[in-house]
Chains A and B, each alone.
Chain A
Amino acid sequence: MLTKRIIPCLDVRNGRVVKGVNFEGIRDVSSPIDLAKYYSSCGADELVFYDITASFEERKIFTGILKEAASSVFIPLTVGGGINSLDDFDRVLKSGADKVSVNSGAIKNPSLIYEAAKRYGSQCVVLSADVKRVNGVFRVFSKGGRENTGIEAVEWLRRGQESGAGEIVLNSIDTDGVKQGFDIPMLKAVCEAVSIPVIASGGAGRPEDFIELFKEVPGADAGLAASIFHFGEVKIKDLKALMKQNGIPVRI
């Protein structure tokens, strides 16, 4: 049976993981390579490297880090952040990424999804969206969640699937950072509208939040989180054991 995936997200800036602290058994928590190896050994099903690079020079460092990680960690790697063109796809895929996540880049140029899917296959095109309720309507935000695009989110993601996206990351701005659980109503709305895998993001604070996610939203395929894993608040091993106890299919 296909298992539900647990995905830690590493924000990388200038070759270091941002917000990495508090780990047992790992020397350098801000080394993306060490952290990637650590997560892979504790049962992470996939890793997301999020590039929050500010300059061209830093981007080269990021690509180098990615290459090194892909040479020593053999689980699927997704890269997001700053993907605006087919050249960006090319650059990260050649450095070892398996999937590429587009967000603002697809808002600026929606045909990027179609073009990338045509060239590299849907399996490596992930459409990521930061979504927030505005007067009761789910709206897509761009620029890291700062700017309301006015686009209705469910329709945007459905169209993304039609254009060739192979997977969706739905990040709820409303629950992000609150640590009170994933945005169940928003995830349900999206899962009903699309048939490709959906990764839930934003709001996980405790292992129980993942149990609620997979029980309440059967269409959710994976749960993604960053700081709760980095800070050791939730250990992937314990989380997976709890999932198993609750009858959720999981890779242990």
Chain B
Amino acid sequence: MIAVVDYGVGNLFSILSSLKYIGADAEVVSDPALLREADKLILPGVGAFRDAAEKLRSTGMWDAVKAEAAVGKPLLGICLGMQLLFEKSFEFGEYEGLSLLKGSVRPLSDIVPKGFKIPQMGWNSLHFTVEKNRLFKYIDEGDFVYFVHSYYAADCEDSVIAVTDYGAKVTASAAKDNVFGCQFHPEKSGEVGLRILKAFCEEGSL
């Protein structure tokens, strides 16, 4: 079973429907103890980093997600859920992340030239920075996915697997062993997004 981690932020309707659509056995899980029964985890998230991090802690999901990732279960963070995987974020202050991936989350305005709107909202193409990751086994270089974000993952050279061009190279996806992150929304990226989710669903535990 794939657990969609519910910690009280964001809308889980789309991610759950897209997983069901591709035939995955997915459930929204709000009890941290039940994460143990899942084979894989998806960490969604919208809104501000600090609020999300606080809610992860207050619901007990912070430690539970870290523990499940540590035993090698595949984990996919989406959008803010991806940003939470890094060590820290500089969104309205400085906040600690789950530290499952090396790097930090910084404002897009640091690297994007003037004239580019923030948030980046819309469809942009994926460019693989390393040999095609398993997550992308059913898609191609240059495929389009849907982004909505104002912050991006920086200093993550050891885990970045795809970037997108928004006046600068922006981290689109990162992965290290069993931990995966997508800055874009695979559940809103049409056929390409469904194929990425399918690839994740086929991941086995390490």
Interface of A toward B, CB cutoff 8 Å: 1-3, 5, 40, 45, 67, 70-72, 74-76, 93-96, 98, 120-124, 166-167, 195-197, 221-222, 251
Contact = CB atoms under 8 A, between A and B. Distances in A.
The 3 A-B residue pairs whose C-beta atoms are closest, nearest first, are: A251-B144, A71-B17, A251-B123
B190 A3 contact: no
B194 interface: yes
Interface in B1-32: 11, 13-14, 17-18, 20-21
Interface stretch (B33-41, B58-66, B113-121): B113-121
Contacts of B124: 1-3
Given A3-B122, A74-B194, A93 B21 contact: no
Nearest to A119: B47
Contacts of A76: 146, 188
Chain A interface SS verdict (over half):
loop
Contact of B188 (A71, A75, A121, A166): A75
B7 to A, nearest CB: 15
A197 B46 contact: no
B14 A98 contact: yes
B193 interface: yes
A221 B121 contact: yes
Contacts of A1: 124-125, 165-166
A76 B13 CA distance: 12
A2 B18 contact: no
Nearest to B144: A251
A93 B124 CA distance: 24
A176 B104 CA distance: 46
25 contacts: A1-B124, A2-B124, A2-B166, A3-B122, A40-B190, A45-B123, A71-B17, A74-B14, A74-B21, A74-B187, A74-B188, A74-B190, A74-B193, A74-B194, A75-B188, A76-B188, A94-B11, A94-B13, A120-B47, A121-B46, A121-B48, A167-B121, A196-B117, A222-B122, A251-B144
A187 B4 CA distance: 41
Nearest to B165: A1
A121 B146 contact: no
Interface in B88-147: 117-125, 144, 146-147
A98 B194 CA distance: 17
A120 B48 CA distance: 10
A76 B123 CA distance: 10
Contacts of A95: 13
Contact of B123 (A5, A120, A167, A195): A5
A195 B116 CA distance: 9
A222 B121 CA distance: 11
Contact of A166 (B121, B144, B146): B121
Contacts of A40: 190
B201 to A, nearest CB: 15
A1 B112 CA distance: 12
A2 B146 contact: no
Of listed B47, B187, B193, residue having the most chain A CB within 10 A: B47
Contacts of B188: 74-76, 98
Contacts of A121: 46-48
B156 interface: no
Contacts of B118: 195
Contacts of B14: 70, 74, 96, 98
Contacts of A2: 120, 122-124, 147, 166
Contact of B117 (A67, A96, A195): A195
Contacts of B46: 120-121, 123-124
Given A74-B187, A75-B190, A98-B11, 19 more contacts: A1-B125, A1-B166, A2-B147, A5-B122, A70-B13, A70-B14, A74-B17, A74-B188, A74-B189, A74-B190, A74-B194, A75-B189, A94-B11, A98-B188, A121-B46, A195-B117, A197-B117, A221-B117, A221-B122
A226 to B, nearest CB: 20
